[in-house]
């Protein structure tokens, strides 16, 4: 077996590891609306080690499979965390969701993480609409979105305004890890087959 085949085997194993971690996170989130820190912290650490030890390449699903290096993996972690922190600060996502996206970022790197976040947001919007339709609360969900947007703008302008209270105002609790996993897998599929 040549070195290229070894790198491909390790990158496939890395993608399988990411898939297993995502499945575990979704399973826990669906059952308890919590994502264990042990899953995301171990996953992020494994991703950083993987990208540090693999021969240089363009990532796990890149044209030239291989590691992106410790700093790029760390940049991906920061990108994933930063992408969901605004939703967490507004109460529209949980801390586990933000940490899960950070773990994914460590696996994908900054650029691929941005794409995965975009597809996660699209998937999350569709999932939210489906949950609101199921709860017969689409109008209430639209009102919540207006309140979240108004609250965000008020915070940026440092003005007092009513804010979204996730305990009181939520239409239906959604295990957002489903959207995160679906958006990530969709991006990896696009990246792999392009």
List alpha helices for 90-176, DSSP H.
95-108, 110-134, 138-156, 166-169
Single pTM value for the model: 0.82
Coil, helix or strand at residue 84: helix
Nearest-angstrom CA–CA distance, 10 and 61: 11
List of the chain residues with pLDDT < 70: 1-7, 135, 137-138, 141, 143-146, 148, 159, 161-172, 194
**Residue 55 contacts by C-beta under 8 Å, 6 or more apart in sequence?**
3, 7, 66, 67
Structure confidence by residue, pLDDT tens digits, 22-31? 999 999 999 9
Give Cα 58 distance to the centre of its chain: 20
């Amino acid at each position: 077996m040549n070195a290229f085949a070894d790198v491909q085997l390790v990158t496939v194993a890395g993608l399988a590891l990411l898939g297993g971690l995502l499945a575990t996170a979704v399973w826990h989130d669906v059952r308890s609306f919590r994502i264990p820190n042990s899953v995301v912290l171990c996953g992020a650490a494994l991703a950083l080690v993987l990208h540090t030890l693999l021969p240089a390449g363009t990532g796990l699903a890149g044209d030239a499979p291989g590691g992106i290096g410790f700093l790029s993996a760390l940049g991906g972690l920061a990108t994933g965390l930063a992408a969901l922190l605004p939703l967490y600060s507004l109460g529209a996502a949980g801390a586990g969701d933000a940490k899960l996206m950070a773990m994914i970022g460590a696996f994908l790197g900054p650029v691929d993480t941005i794409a995965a976040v975009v597809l996660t947001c699209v998937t999350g919007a569709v999932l939210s609409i489906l949950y609101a339709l199921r709860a017969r609360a689409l109008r209430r969900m639209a009102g919540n979105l207006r309140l979240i947007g108004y609250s965000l703008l008020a915070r940026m302008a440092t003005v007092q305004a009513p804010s979204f209270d996730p305990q009181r105002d939520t239409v239906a609790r959604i295990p957002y890890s489903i959207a995160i996993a679906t958006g990530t897998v969709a991006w990896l599929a696009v990246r792999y087959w392009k």
